[in-house]
Each structure stands twice: as structure tokens, then as C-alpha cells.
Amino acid sequence: MPFFGPPQFSADAWAGDADELVRSSAISLYIAAVSTLLSLVVGFVLAAYVLAMPRTGRIVETLSAATIPIPHVIGAGAIGLLLSDSGFLERLLGMPDAFPALVSGPWFVAVIAEYAWKESAFVALVVLGSISRSVGDLCDAAATLGAFAGQRIIRVVLPLAVPSLAVSAAIVFVYTLGSYEAAWLLGPTTPEPLPVRAVRLFTSVDLAARPQAMVTALVSVAVSVAVISTAILVLRRHRSLR
Amino acid sequence: MIPVLQPASPSMRRTLPGGFPMRVILGCLLVAWIVAPMVPVLLWSVAGQWRAPTVLPSSYSLQGFADLATADTARAAVSSLSLGLGVAVIATPLGYLGALAVRALPAIPSRFVEFVLLVPLAIPPFALVMGVNIALLRLYVSPTLGVTLVLVVTALPYTAFMFRSALASYDHRFEEVARSLGASPGQATRHVRYPLLASAAARAFFLAFLVGWGDYISTLLIGGGQLRTLPLLLGSAASTTGNEQLTTALSVAIIIPPLILLAGLTLPAARKRRQ
């Protein structure tokens, strides 16, 4: 679109830097996938612990619920202070020489840690809300039939939690895919995830970057819609998951 | 927000594999996972001097909190508060109406409303903002109103979900009893339905308030620097290094009010159920 005169259609913004778009999408998908996986695992362990330990579980549950109102921009700042170069963790470990670059490093470790930290509490909350009523009796029954503790976790608690895990996985994945703050504060400058790239181009002084910003935003929407539709299809197909 | 649990049955209590030491280790690991990121924030907010190799600050001071007492921060706090309240006041009744519509409409329109209520979850907030920004500018919508409207869209799936789960377990016979005892439809709604849905409404209000209170990217892009909320102050402070005391004190100041609200919402209900 020119600065003045009639607007014209063109596919330049799509074709011009298709490589960059693909790379940004791949990075965003990588961050979302690893964060979702981690938060599901930690969230399930949190929920199982809360259900199994009546007293200490209550403390863990309250602490974990208290992290939910913390905005992501604060979570990102906190993870930055914890994991950065000469941050709290490195000081605790006695400043080892081989401390890896977690913040702004190539693998987005700090970004993923922030999402996993915030979203595991969310996953635990959803799982607890959906299974805490029924799980006790079923575990009793399984124990009567001779199931060991480990078997009860794998064969009773996990299958009961799968529907809520599946729903929260879809929500966490789409949320981390479109979230800006942590990727911006804790990620390296290149390669950029989709949200960081879109916002940088959108707020650029160069108005000619606008079409590219819009293309990046559209690609993010397309990826999110594809993920949500797949999730709905999978949930429909396996009615037992609902 | 915190689901109230039934007491664990005896066998569920023995369900974690491993003996007592394993359970203690797991508990400590989980607590460490939850608390670890907040430890440096709390320490920095009261640190006077904290040079690199030392594990704890070498001196403590409340300078970070004292630096918060400026007119700028106060204005930002008022903006954040009114943004949170504005989003909550609009999104809570809309969520209620949406949930009612999904329940009352015939199958196909109901599916459509359900779809519309869920769409904001699938659209990343920054993409939503970029798309709507031009329309807001053309319509001469003020930044504050624009941010509020966009965040209402973001908050709507949460408030609608809260009311939907509350309505799913809601027993309509209470209202029928009230009607057969001579209450008008309005009275039945006011004296029966609203009290029964009050806790869901409080949770929906809280979630919508959080969306406005903690938002960063929508406020930045639509507000265009005119609407300065607490997260915006934090974002610009956190992207530069060297003023950790101020940044962390600001973080603590942003976290505390919702935590008090959360405690106020959950503690009375939990106490009532325990009695």
C-alpha cells in the first residue's frame, strides 16, 4: 500500500520474507509445544500431590493458586532475575563458570520456564476442579482390588485426568503461542517468535513494515485456529475425553 | 478459584509411590518450583545493595517502595484500577447473558453463540489489537475506552465459562418453587437466581478484573503511551537493567491487591464449607 494515492493489492508482504515467517512460526510452535508439555507434567504432579497429601497438599494448592493472578509481565521479570547471568540461581550455585545462557539464549529456556511456571498452576487448578470429587472412591476400589500406589496413579488418576489435561493443553498451547511479554523480555533478538516480530514491525517507524506486521499477525491467527480446530476434532472423536 | 476438596480417602493418601522420604522430597520440589521465581523479586524489593557473587543482599532498605510514592505511579495505579473495574463491570454481565443464551437457545443458534464466545481464545491478543486499531482510530474512540473494549473481548470467554459451569449445576426448580409461592418473575430472579449465582459472578468479576489489571500488550498498542498503567511502567522498567529495586517493588505492588481480592473471595466460602 503506498503512502498516498489509491491502495493496491499485492502479495509482496507474504512472498518477500516467507523464510522469516516460516522460521518465526517454527520458533513459536517449538516454544508453545515444550511449554505445554512441561506444564502438563508439572501440573499433573501438582494435582496428584494435592489430592494425596491432605495437609501439606493444601499448602501447595494455596501457593500454586496464588501464582495465578500474577501477570505474565511480572512472571517474566521474576524469571529473568532468577535465571539471568549472575541471577539468583547462579549465585546460589556459587557462580560456576559453565552457567549456560538461559535468558536470551538460543533455546528460549527462560521463556519456556516462565510459561511452564505460570501455566502448570493453571493445569493443576483445572485438573483438581474436575477430578477431586470422584478420585478418592475409585482409588479405594482399585486398592481393594490390589493395585499398588504407582498402578493407581497410572491406571486410575491419570485416565480420570486426561479429559481436563487435554482441554487445558489446547488452552495453554494457544495462549503461549500468542503471548508476547515473556518472549520479548527473556528471548534472544533473533530468531523472533511470531508475537515479538509482529509487534516490532507494527510499532516500527517505517510505515512500509505495516503489511508485514499484518501478515505476521494473520499467520499467528491461522496457526492458533488450526491448533484449536485440531483439538476440537480430537476431543469430538474421542468422546471419552470430554 | 481454589476448588474445595473432599478429604482424601485413606487409599488415595497412600497413592503417591515411594515412602515418606520420597513424599517429603516431592513436596519440597513442588514448593520450590512454585516459590523460586518470587524469591529474587521479594529479596530485590527490600535490598539496599546486592552485588553479584553474594547469595543474599548485603544491606536492606525500603528505598524501592519509597520510590514508588510518586504522582506518576499514583496516576498509573488509578488507570490500572479503573481499567480492571471497567473491564469487569462490562464483561461480567455480558458473560452471564452469553451463558444464558447458550443454555436457552435452540441447538444451532446456541452452537453459534458458543463459538463466538470461544473465538477470542483462539485469536492472539496482539493480532486482535492490530486488526481493530485502525477502526478505533477512525471512530475517534479514546484510548482508555478502546483498551477497555478490546480487553472486554479478551475477558469474555472467561466470564462466560464461569457462568456456564455455574448454570450447568444450577437447579431451576428453586425458581419454580419461588414462582409457585407467588413470586413474580422479577422477584424470583432477584431473590433466588442472583444469590445462587453470586459466587460464580464474583469469580467471573475477579478474572475479568485481572485481565484489565495485568494487561500489557493491548494497553501498549492501543493506548499508544497515553494510557499508562502499572504493567506499562513495569514493562519499561524491566526491559532495562540497573533499577531492580524499583522494578521488583512495583511488581510486589501489582501482585498484592489481586491476592487480597482472591483471599477475600475464597476464604469465607472455604470456611463456610468446613463448618
pLDDT digits (tens, 9 = 90+) for A215-235: 999 999 999 999 888 888 888
More confident residue, B7 or A51: A51
Out of A51, A81, A178, whose CB is closest to B12? A51
Q: What percent of chain A has pLDDT over 70?
A: 96
pLDDT tens digit string along A53-111?
878 888 999 999 899 899 999 999 999 999 988 888 888 888 787 788 888 888 899 99
Q: Which residues of A touch B249 (CB under 8 A)?
A: none
Query: What's the rounded Cα separation, in Å, for the pair B18 and A18?
Result: 52
**Ranges of each domain in chain B:** 71-264
Q: Which residues of B touch A134 (CB under 8 A)?
A: none
Structural domain of A175 = 16-241
Is residue B232 within 8 A of residue B223, CB to CB? The reply is yes
Residue A94 inside a domain? The answer is yes
Total number of domains constituting chain A: 1
Q: Which residues of A touch B258 (CB under 8 A)?
A: 69
Residue A171 inside a domain? The answer is yes
The per-residue pLDDT for A240 is 57
* B124/A179 Cβ within 8 A: yes
* B3/A132 Cβ within 8 A: yes
Out of A63, A171, A213, whose CB is closest to B130? A213
Task: Encode B186-219: b = buried (16+ Cβ within 10 Å), e = exposed.
Answer: eebeeebbeeebeebbbbbbbbbbbbbbbbbbbb
The closest alpha carbon to A185, from A89, A87, A101, A114, belongs to: A114
Name every residue whose Cβ is closer than 8 Å to that of residue B184 and which is 6 or more positions away in sequence.
none
* A150/B124 Cβ within 8 A: no
Nearest C-alpha of chain B: how many angstroms from A2?
16
Query: What's the rounded Cα separation, in Å, for the pair A226 and A3?
Result: 34
Query: What's the rounded Cα separation, in Å, for the pair B212 and B150?
Result: 10
Is residue A113 within 8 A of residue A106, CB to CB? The reply is no
Q: Which residues of A touch B43 (CB under 8 A)?
A: 88
Q: Which residues of B touch A47 (CB under 8 A)?
A: none
Q: If residue A117 lies in a helix (H) or strand (E), which one and from where to where?
A: helix A109-131
Enter the ipTM.
0.89
Q: Which residues of B touch A214 (CB under 8 A)?
A: 130-131
- DSSP 8-state code for residue A193: P
* A199/B37 Cβ within 8 A: no
Out of B6, B38, B124, whose CB is closest to A132? B6
Q: Which residues pair with B184 in a beta bridge?
A: none
Query: What's the rounded Cα separation, in Å, for the pair B1 and B265?
Result: 8
Residue A30: other Cβ atoms inside 10 A: 15
- Could you say which of 3.40.640.10, 2.120.10.30, 2.60.40.680, 1.10.3720.10 is the CATH number of the domain covering B71-264? 1.10.3720.10
- Choose the mutation target among B4, B9, B29, B34 for the interface with A, i.e. most A CBs under 10 Å: B34
Residue A102, classed as helix, strand or coil, is: coil
Is residue A43 within 8 A of residue A124, CB to CB? The reply is yes
Out of A79, A136, A175, whose CB is closest to B6? A136
Nearest C-alpha of chain A: how many angstroms from B184?
36
Instruction: Check which CATH number belongs to the domain holding A110 and give it.
Output: 1.10.3720.10
Is residue A217 within 8 A of residue A198, CB to CB? The reply is yes
Is residue B48 within 8 A of residue B61, CB to CB? The reply is yes
* A54/B52 Cβ within 8 A: no
> How many interchain CB pairs under 8 A, A with B?
227
Mean pLDDT on A112-132: 91
pTM value is 0.89
More confident residue, A237 or B183: B183
Nearest C-alpha of chain B: how many angstroms from A30?
17
> Left, alpha or beta for A104 (phi > 0: left; psi -120 to 50: alpha)?
left
Nearest C-alpha of chain A: how many angstroms from B188?
30
Q: What is the 3-state secondary structure (H, E, C) of chain B?
A: CCCCCCCCCHHHHCCCCCCHHHHHHHHHHHHHHHHCCHHHHHHHHCEEECCCCCCCCCEECCHHHHCCCCHHHHHHHHHHHHHHHHHHHHHHHHHHHHHHHHHHCCHHHHHHHHHHHHHHHHCCHHHHHHHHHHHHHHCCCCHHHHHHHHHHHHHHHHHHHHHHHHHHCCCCHHHHHHHHCCCCHHHHHHHHHHHHHHHHHHHHHHHHHHHHHHCCHHHHHHHCCCCCCHHHHHHHHHCCCCCHHHHHHHHHHHHHHHHHHHHHHHHHHHHHHHC
Nearest C-alpha of chain B: how many angstroms from A3?
15
From residue B257, alpha-carbon distances to A83, A195, A224, B57, B245 in Å are 27, 29, 32, 26, 19
Q: Which residues of B touch A51 (CB under 8 A)?
A: 5, 8, 12, 15
Residue B177: other Cβ atoms inside 10 A: 13
Q: Which residues of B touch A143 (CB under 8 A)?
A: 11, 14
Residue B255: other Cβ atoms inside 10 A: 21
The per-residue pLDDT for B2 is 44
What is the distance, to the nearest Å, from the Cα of residue A201 to the centroid of all Cα atoms in its chain?
Answer: 24
Residue A10 inside a domain? The answer is no
Locate cell 520456564: which residue?
A113
* B15/A52 Cβ within 8 A: yes
From residue B207, alpha-carbon distances to A164, B60, B123, B126, B251 in Å are 20, 35, 18, 19, 19
Q: Which residues of B touch A140 (CB under 8 A)?
A: 9-12
Residue A7 inside a domain? The answer is no
Query: What's the rounded Cα separation, in Å, for the pair B270 and B264?
Result: 11
Residue pLDDT tens, chain B, 275 long: 444 444 555 556 556 666 778 888 999 999 999 999 999 999 999 888 888 778 888 888 888 888 888 888 999 999 999 999 999 999 999 999 999 998 888 888 888 888 888 888 888 889 989 888 888 888 988 888 999 999 999 999 999 988 988 888 788 888 889 999 988 989 988 898 888 888 889 889 999 999 999 999 999 998 877 889 999 999 888 877 778 888 999 999 999 999 998 888 877 777 776 66
Q: If residue A55 lies in a helix (H) or strand (E), which one and from where to where?
A: helix A54-66
